[in-house]
Amino acid sequence: MKLFKKKNPRYEFLRKRWIARHKENSQNLLDKHLRHVALGSVGSLVLLGTHNVSLPASPQLALNVGNQTTLNLESSQNRLLATELVDKLPLDNLVLSKTQEDNITSLINKDLGIKVKAEIAGKRLNRTYGLIGGEQHLYRYPGDTIYEHAKDAQDWAMYSNAGMAPGLGAWGYFAPSKEQFSSEDDLRERYYIAVQTFLSPGFSERVAEYRDFYKYRKMLVVNPTTGQAVVADIADAGPSEWTGKHLGGSPEVMQELGLAGGPRKGAVLYFFIDDSQKDIPLGPVKIKGELSKTI
C-alpha cells in the first residue's frame, strides 16, 4: 500500500508564495547589479554564496543551513579528532585519568590547533568528560526578552523553543542596560555553558577567588563522537548533582555540538582554553584538512 503524507495547506501556500517572491527578488538583484559582472568574479560569487541568493527550495536543505553545524567529512580536522579519540575514552565511566587527559589535550592541540588544559593556576573542575544537557537562554540585561535574542527568522526558529531561564546566570546580567550591551556580551550569552564550579577542589575554601577565576572563562567543549567543537564561556553554575548531568550548554552550544535534537544531551570533553592573548573567539570551531583555520 502506498503511503502518503498529508500536506499542511497553509505551509504549502506560503512556501510557494515566498519561493516565488525570492525568485523575483533574486532575479532583480542579478539583473540590476550583476549582469555586467563576468562569471567567476568576486561580486557574483560573494552574493550567490554568502547572501543566500541561492534558493532554499526544500525543507531538507533548510535543516542543515546556518551556524556551521555541518562538517566536510572528507577534509575536516574535526572528523580526524573524532576518529583519534575513539580508543582514548573510558567505556564504563566518564572520569578521565591524568594520562588520558594528557593524551586527549595533546590530540586536541594537534588536530584543532587550540591549546587546552585541564588545570590552570592550580584550579580545575571536578571532571573533564561528562554529560552535557541543554540549558535555556539567559537574561542579558534588564528588560531582555526571548524575542531580542533572535538575530533573524531562522535564529528564532532554531533557538526560541528553549525559552528563558527563570533566574539570572551566576554572574547576573551580562550588561547593566540594553544601551551598554555589547557584541562581546552577546557572544558570551550565545555560547555559554554552565559548569559545576561548586564541585571544584578547593572551591568552598576560596569562593571569591574561584568565582573570579570562572567568570566568563573560556572552555573548549568537544563532542568526541563527531569531533564537533565550540569555544564557550562559563556564564552559569550547575547543573545540580542529582540531575545526573555534569554541565549545561546554551541552545546555540548544543546546536554546534550536534546535540540539539532528541534528548538534548550527550557525553562531551571540556577543557580550559589558554587564551592569555585574548584572540580565540567564542563560537564553533571548524578546521579544514589543510590546517588553515576557519575560526
Partner 1 sequence: MTKFYAHLTEIHTLIVELEPLDLSEKEKNHLSQLIDSNLDAVIMDAILSELSEEDKMKFLRQLETGDHIQTWNFLQHKVADIEEKIKTVSKNLKEKLRQDIKEAHLRVNDKK
> Where does this chain bind partner 1 (CB under 8 A)?
8-11, 13-15, 17-19, 21-22, 25-26, 28-29, 32-33, 36, 42-43, 46-47, 50-53, 55-56, 58-59, 62-63, 65-66, 147-148, 150-154, 156-158, 160
Residue 47 or 219 with smaller CB distance to partner 1 = 47
* Residue 220 Cβ vs partner 1, minimum distance, rounded to whole Å: 20
* Residue 229 Cβ vs partner 1, minimum distance, rounded to whole Å: 17
CA-wise closest residue to 113 among 74, 85, 81, 71: 81
Residue 48 or 120 with smaller CB distance to partner 1 = 48
Residue 83 or 145 with smaller CB distance to partner 1 = 145
CA–CA distance, 176 with 49 (Å, rounded to integer): 38
Residue 156 or 171 with smaller CB distance to partner 1 = 156
* Residue 111 Cβ vs partner 1, minimum distance, rounded to whole Å: 23
Residue 32 or 98 with smaller CB distance to partner 1 = 32
* Residue 279 Cβ vs partner 1, minimum distance, rounded to whole Å: 15
Residue 19 or 107 with smaller CB distance to partner 1 = 19
Is the separation of the CB atoms in 115 and 125 below 8 Å?
no
CA–CA distance, 161 with 163 (Å, rounded to integer): 5
* Residue 69 Cβ vs partner 1, minimum distance, rounded to whole Å: 13
Is the separation of the CB atoms in 129 and 269 below 8 Å?
yes
* Residue 259 Cβ vs partner 1, minimum distance, rounded to whole Å: 16
**Treating both helix axes as pointing N-terminal to C-terminal, what angle do 77-85 and 98-112 enclose, rounded to 10 degrees?**
160
Residue 50 or 99 with smaller CB distance to partner 1 = 50
DSSP structural state of residue 7:
P
Sign (positive/negative) of CA torsion 102, 106, 112, 115? positive
Residue 180, judged by CB atoms within 10 A of its CB (0-12, 13-18, 19+), counts as exposed
Residue 8 or 180 with smaller CB distance to partner 1 = 8
CA–CA distance, 64 with 55 (Å, rounded to integer): 13
CA–CA distance, 215 with 230 (Å, rounded to integer): 18
* Residue 225 Cβ vs partner 1, minimum distance, rounded to whole Å: 23
| Nearby residues of 295 by Cβ (< 8 Å), 6 or more positions away | 231, 280, 281, 283, 285, 286, 287
Most distant CA pair in the chain: distance in Å?
A: 70
* Residue 182 Cβ vs partner 1, minimum distance, rounded to whole Å: 12
CA-wise closest residue to 100 among 129, 132, 131: 129
